[in-house]
Amino acid sequence: MTESSANKLLNGDACRRTSSGQKASKNGFVKNHCLFQQPQKYRCPGEKNQHGAHNSSLYKRPFVESFEQTPLLVAVLTYVGYGILTIFGYLRDFLRHWNIGKCTMAREREEQKDFVPLYQDFENFYTRNLYMRIRDNWNRPICSVPGAKMNLVERVSPDYNWTFQHTGNVVQDVINMGSYNYLGFAENTGACADAAVEVTQKYGVGVGSTRCELGNLDIHEELEQLVARFLGVESAMTFGMGFATNSMNIPALTGKGCLILSDELNHASLVLGARLSGSTIRVFKHNNMQSLEKLLRDAIVHGQPRTHRPWRKILILVEGIYSMEGSIVRLPEVIALKKRYKAYVYLDEAHSIGALGSNGKGVVDYFGLDPTDVDVMMGTFTKSFGGAGGYIGGRKELIDYLRQHSHSALYATSMPPPVAQQIITSMKIIMGEDGTTLGADRLRQLSENTTYFRRKLCEMGVIIYGNSDSPVVPVMLYMPAKIGAFGREMLKRNIGTVVVGFPATPIIESRARFCISAAHTREMLDTVLEAMNEVGDLLQLKYSRRERAPPPIRWTSEESQLQD
């Protein structure tokens, strides 16, 4: 998968299809002693309804996650739509080839014509002939703080999205349903902004050196101690960029002879880090613990390919909240597996830190687990804290090792002081150390908003994916034309949303994604829901064939597979 079109389609968010990693070989010998028995063999891809967990005894609260199956007719029509668009794509390419009509895209120069063609693979075809037509839904310039409401720069395209011109007008007060502003800390006023201004006056903005040279300010040390305290781990370290935290630290942790077990929907940064590390990568089905257990057992039974030596390390890569599916990792089961098979867990809490749990401490808090059970706690400050950068938390030995070996600690400039201060202040607010209940209010507001919004959408009859507690709400659109139409119709109603298509999602599962924030008021959500209702009728998005929201599942039967 090339990153380019993924980035374009998603505003730089995620390219989340791991294609590397071969299927595990057949599990020949060990058949019993499975931690998680497979009730039926793997779920077939069509059957995607997963209500609740299999190992209910591990969960303290109902774990309701649903992925309603795509209706067959919709799937067929979606493919038909793509077929028609592909035919027209070929027609346009043909015309361009013969220089009929104006050609505005990149192409080989005359001297290069005899070389290997540059723009002929599927990604290029897709970008040129499908993405280009609805490009106006992405990369829209914003000219205010992207809080609950934002201002957009109005732009027009005279040539069907090949070029854009700014009209000079501003679209005022668009409700922002796309930013990862879970706790509403993206603000230009308030305690965080004031503190950041103060720190700017003290330290300036740039640092101009790396952490191990002259870029190690006292504010960084303070931040790291605070992060460690917030997470409940021994030690933590911070980096200037969340993406680099993943992609540069995984190679420091594993290498040749190690095995990485990665969820199939992991973020591009995790995928890149895993590939850079040179370890063997195997991919398990999204949030499917039977699949993970099978891979673990195979890995332990067979060892490395050919030599059959045992793997030096086995690292499981999972995310807290998956930003495209809105699902929450089955962490209790992952930790049970990890303990049983003596593997390590790397948990990326980019979306979940601050957004989940009664204290805002991420999935660990949400499930009421012990943070020391997770070996590497990674997260970013980009989302809930309204800052930038990432952190890694864990045991002291781990952090000391990473300080010596991580590229993003050794070679990357450290975090700008105002950003560090923004994170410190917002984190203290969340922890309640500022002496107010502002943080607790925000957390409560976020979970109320999430529940309300999800319930209303469910009642409306659109298909939404994910866990009922996740503030990321994907609404399924399926058909390619609806991606463009949805974004435009919502913007007409003054609502900014993110629409996502291939390659960030499977080709038929295009979706729109709402990110709920604590900054949204009930009125805003009602406006959005009303618009959503109208657009849902207009675009016929109410695919759901469920009568009503699934009742939360209460656990009664105690399963005791863990005690064997």
List interacting residues with another protein (CB under 8 A).
Answer: 77, 80-82, 84-85, 88, 91-92, 130, 133-134, 160, 479-482, 484-485, 538-540
- 166 is a catalytic site residue: no
Half-sphere exposure for 497 (CA within 13 Å, toward CB):
30
Residue whose CB is less far from another protein, 85 or 460: 85
CB of 453 vs another protein, minimal distance in Å: 25
CB under 6 A: which stretch of 102-110, 345-353, 360-368, 480-488 binds ligand PLP?
345-353
343 binds, among ligand PLP, another protein, none (CB under 5 to 8 A by kind): none
Report the alpha-carbon distance of residue 375 to residue 34 in Å, rounded.
23
- 428 is a catalytic site residue: no
Residue whose CB is less far from ligand PLP, 347 or 535: 347
CB under 6 A: which stretch of 138-146, 195-203, 240-248, 252-260 binds ligand PLP?
240-248
The Cβ of residue 276 has, within 10 Å, a number of other Cβ atoms equal to 14
Residue whose CB is less far from another protein, 98 or 115: 98
Name the catalytic one among 323, 447, 517, 544.
Answer: 323
- 351 is a catalytic site residue: yes
Report the alpha-carbon distance of residue 553 to residue 561 in Å, rounded.
20
Is 408 a binder of ligand PLP (CB under 6 A)?
Answer: no
481 binds, among ligand PLP, another protein, none (CB under 5 to 8 A by kind): another protein
Residue whose CB is less far from ligand PLP, 241 or 531: 241
Is residue 196 within 8 Å of 422, Cβ to Cβ?
A: yes
Is residue 152 within 8 Å of 502, Cβ to Cβ?
A: no
Report the alpha-carbon distance of residue 32 to residue 486 in Å, rounded.
50
CB of 325 vs another protein, minimal distance in Å: 24
Residue whose CB is less far from another protein, 9 or 329: 9
CB of 156 vs another protein, minimal distance in Å: 15
Name the catalytic one among 220, 294, 338, 351.
Answer: 351
Residue whose CB is less far from another protein, 485 or 525: 485
Draw the binding track, 372-391, toward ligand PLP (x: CB under 6 A; -: no contact): --------x-x-------x-
What are the DSSP calls for 288-321, one per residue? -HHHHHHHHHHHHHH-STTT-PPPS-EEEEEESB
CB under 6 A: which stretch of 42-50, 108-116, 238-246, 504-512 binds ligand PLP?
238-246
Is residue 279 within 8 Å of 259, Cβ to Cβ?
A: yes
Half-sphere exposure for 340 (CA within 13 Å, toward CB):
19
267 binds, among another protein, ligand PLP, none (CB under 5 to 8 A by kind): ligand PLP
Residue whose CB is less far from another protein, 30 or 91: 91
Q: Provide the β-strand partners of residue 510.
A: 478
CA 239 to chain centre: 19
84 binds, among another protein, ligand PLP, none (CB under 5 to 8 A by kind): another protein
Report the alpha-carbon distance of residue 436 to residue 442 in Å, rounded.
11
What are the DSSP calls for 424-463, one per residue? HHHHHHHHTTTSSSHHHHHHHHHHHHHHHHHHHHHHHT--
Is 241 a binder of ligand PLP (CB under 6 A)?
Answer: yes
Estimate the crossing angle of helix 242-253 against helix 268-277, to 10 degrees. 30
CB under 6 A: which stretch of 77-85, 217-225, 235-243, 409-417 binds ligand PLP?
235-243
What are the DSSP calls for 215-231, one per residue? ---HHHHHHHHHHHHHH
CB of 351 vs ligand PLP, minimal distance in Å: 6
Is 470 a binder of ligand PLP (CB under 6 A)?
Answer: no
CB of 84 vs another protein, minimal distance in Å: 5
390 binds, among another protein, ligand PLP, none (CB under 5 to 8 A by kind): ligand PLP
Is 13 a binder of ligand PLP (CB under 6 A)?
Answer: yes
Q: Is 384 exposed, middle or buried (0-12, 13-18, 19+ CB in 10 A)?
A: buried
Is 246 a binder of ligand PLP (CB under 6 A)?
Answer: yes
Residues 274-333 that bind ligand PLP (CB under 6 A): 319, 323
Name the catalytic one among 286, 383, 428, 520.
Answer: 383
Report the alpha-carbon distance of residue 141 to residue 275 in Å, rounded.
33
Half-sphere exposure for 564 (CA within 13 Å, toward CB):
9
The Cβ of residue 116 has, within 10 Å, a number of other Cβ atoms equal to 7
240 binds, among another protein, ligand PLP, none (CB under 5 to 8 A by kind): none
Is residue 292 within 8 Å of 282, Cβ to Cβ?
A: no
Dihedral (Cα; 470, 476, 482, 488), 10-degree rounding: -20
Question: What are the tokens at 122?
Answer: 């599927």
In the set 267, 297, 442, 482, which binds ligand PLP (CB under 6 A)?
Answer: 267
Is 497 a binder of ligand PLP (CB under 6 A)?
Answer: no
In the set 36, 243, 465, 543, which binds ligand PLP (CB under 6 A)?
Answer: 243
CB under 6 A: which stretch of 54-62, 136-144, 343-351, 356-364 binds ligand PLP?
343-351
**Pairs from 394-402 (Cβ < 8 Å, separation ≥ 24):** 394/233, 394/234, 394/235, 394/236, 395/233, 395/234, 395/235, 396/234, 396/235, 398/235, 399/234, 399/235, 399/236, 399/237, 400/235, 401/252, 402/237, 402/249, 402/252, 402/253
Would you name the residues annotated as active-site residues? Answer: 323, 351, 383
What does the binding site for ligand PLP look like in residue numbers (CB under 6 A)? Answer: 13-14, 241-243, 246, 267, 269, 319, 323, 348, 350-351, 380, 382, 390
